[in-house]
Amino acid sequence: MTQTLSHIDLDELKATYERDGFAVARGLFSMEEVAEIKETFEQIHQNEFSKSFDDGVRDPNDPLFQYPRVVHPHRFNATARRYMLHPVVQKCLEVIIGEEPVATQSMYYFKAPGARGQAMHQDNLYLLVDPGTCIGAWTAIDKVDRENGCMMLVPGSHRGNILCQEDAGETVRRETFSGAITRIPKGMKAVEMPMEPGDTLFFGGSVIHGSGPNRSKDRFRRSFIGHYAAGSLDKISKFYLPLVRMDGTDYEVTSQVGGGACGQDWLGAVH
């Protein structure tokens, strides 16, 4: 490892992750790095818009039509790939999962003012990592809070199973772009996760999480997201192949039947 993490208490990060299913590494990325990520995706938005992800939004007035998600940018952009494989993320993942991670996905959400959020879900329903689960590393590019739709997570939900989803219904669809939702089990409650630019939230693939709409008039809620798994996995949904080792080389494993892009209407197999 080339980089030490003197500003992050890795033991505390791991202990919090194990207790709640998620933990934040505050200030993991510098302001220069945050600016580089932001600039990279402004360029992608301006010059390579056709590479944005099609979430099926067709209303030209919808902020998600104007600023769609970018999914798997590491497959066409070297800077996105470099940040997905960044040594500070690798170090945190190694400590949290206790073995060599592999990258499964990168994403960028602009979440422009007025954009809908993403309904509550568990990532491993989509990634279908087996054995084990996936783990997200969600880096705030802007200051995020309730108003612009910060992440919301259910502490302790990582100890439960992957739950069946339900059709999201009209009310949830008005506030999120998702067609399906995972209901929060009785006795559990989601907490909001306000973050500063450069903070990275690590969360396990069974943790129920999502986000509300961006209710602000003029504040984007941009985030760069990597998803990972322990390198000893056997299978993953085809959508995520080829995986990428942290040294940048491709890594093929067997593909699962089903799964797919997180947030799409997959109600599939529960295991």
Ligand X SMILES: O=C(O)CCC(=O)C(=O)O
Residues found near ligand X in the complex (CB under 6 A): 109, 117-118, 123, 136, 138, 151, 209, 211, 223, 225, 262
Nearer to ligand X, 135 or 246 (CB): 135
Segment (H or E) for 78 = helix 78-84
Q: Count Cβ atoms below 10 Å from residue 26 Cβ, excluding itself.
A: 13
> What CA–CA distance (Å, rounded) separates 13 from 17?
6
Query: Inter-axis angle of helices 87-97 and 10-20, to 10 degrees?
Result: 60
Residue of this chain nearest to ligand X (CB atom): 211
CA distances from 265 to 25, 55, 70, 104, 203 (A): 31, 10, 18, 20, 22
> What CA–CA distance (Å, rounded) separates 271 from 264?
19
- Residue 151 CB, shortest distance to ligand X, in Å, is 6
- Residue 210 CB, shortest distance to ligand X, in Å, is 6
The separation between the first and the last C-alpha atoms of the chain, rounded to the nearest angstrom, is 35
Nearer to ligand X, 136 or 197 (CB): 136
> What CA–CA distance (Å, rounded) separates 182 from 137?
21
Nearer to ligand X, 115 or 233 (CB): 115
Q: Is 195 helix (H, G, I), strand (E, B) or coil?
A: strand
Nearer to ligand X, 16 or 223 (CB): 223
- Residue 149 CB, shortest distance to ligand X, in Å, is 7
- Residue 2 CB, shortest distance to ligand X, in Å, is 27
- Residue 111 CB, shortest distance to ligand X, in Å, is 7
Nearer to ligand X, 162 or 252 (CB): 162
- Residue 118 CB, shortest distance to ligand X, in Å, is 4
Question: Which residue has 């999962």 as its token pair?
Answer: 97
Nearer to ligand X, 6 or 223 (CB): 223
